[in-house]
Amino acid sequence: MRGGRIVRRLDVKTSTVSSRTVRVPLALALMLVAALLGSFLPASAQMRPERGGWGRDGGMALPLLIRAAKLTPEQDGKVRAILTNHRTVTRNTVEQLRRAQDELADKLLGPAPVQIADLQPLLKQIAALREQLLQDSAQIALEVRSVLTPEQLARASQVKARMQQLQSEMQQMYDR
């Protein structure tokens, strides 16, 4: 139990949920999958310009910061156009990243022996796709930023600072 919650495990053989402990090999496999996906999911979650955001918060920063800036109707139209212009390319890149990550997980968890050399092409592809998403996100942020007035940027900066403070407070509560 952690934080007063009961941790339940899935019994793979019967597909039922119980409070019993799962066999060690399955537990190790699940930890490997969690570690593998945990290292990749943040990147795809971070880069969500097609949803109007970027950052480690899963794409929620930009919409909140834009809302805090209190756009005029004209600015709102410009920001929507910027996001629409980038949506298709970004979605395609995110889908390619998901496929590459799935392929990597399949190789790591498949029955065949795997060496680092076997993974290098996929790792390079994943790194390149992440880089592309990072570049696209930065470009979107710059385009949106160019629409804002200095006062709106200052307001958005204040909201961002407050969001970081709240995030830090939440982490402190979790760590207790």
How high is the pLDDT of residue 149? 94
Q: Which residues contact residue 144 at a Cβ distance below 8 angstroms, ignoring those fewer than 6 apart?
A: 62, 66, 79, 82
Q: Name the residue range of residue 24's domain.
A: 9-175
In a domain, 46, yes or no: yes
Instruction: Please name every residue paired with 1 in a beta bridge, in sequence order, or none if there are none.
Output: none
In a domain, 4, yes or no: no
For the cut 50, the answer to whether the pLDDT of residue 34 exceeds it is: no
In a domain, 3, yes or no: no
Please compute the mean of the pLDDT values over residues 31-56 and round it to a whole number: 40
Count of the separate structural domains present in the chain: 1
CA dihedral 93, 94, 95, 101 (to 10 degrees): 110
How high is the pLDDT of residue 60? 53
In a domain, 2, yes or no: no
In a domain, 114, yes or no: yes
Helix (H, G, I), strand (E, B) or coil at 37: helix
User: Side chain identity at 73, as an amino acid letter?
Assistant: P
How high is the pLDDT of residue 63? 77
For the cut 60, the answer to whether the pLDDT of residue 27 exceeds it is: no
In a domain, 74, yes or no: yes
Looking at per-residue pLDDT, the higher value among 8 and 67 belongs to: 67
Please compute the mean of the pLDDT values over residues 136-140 and round it to a whole number: 92
In a domain, 58, yes or no: yes
Tell the residue number behind the tokens 């307001």, with chain if given: 155
Tell the residue number behind the tokens 């880089």, with chain if given: 131
In a domain, 120, yes or no: yes
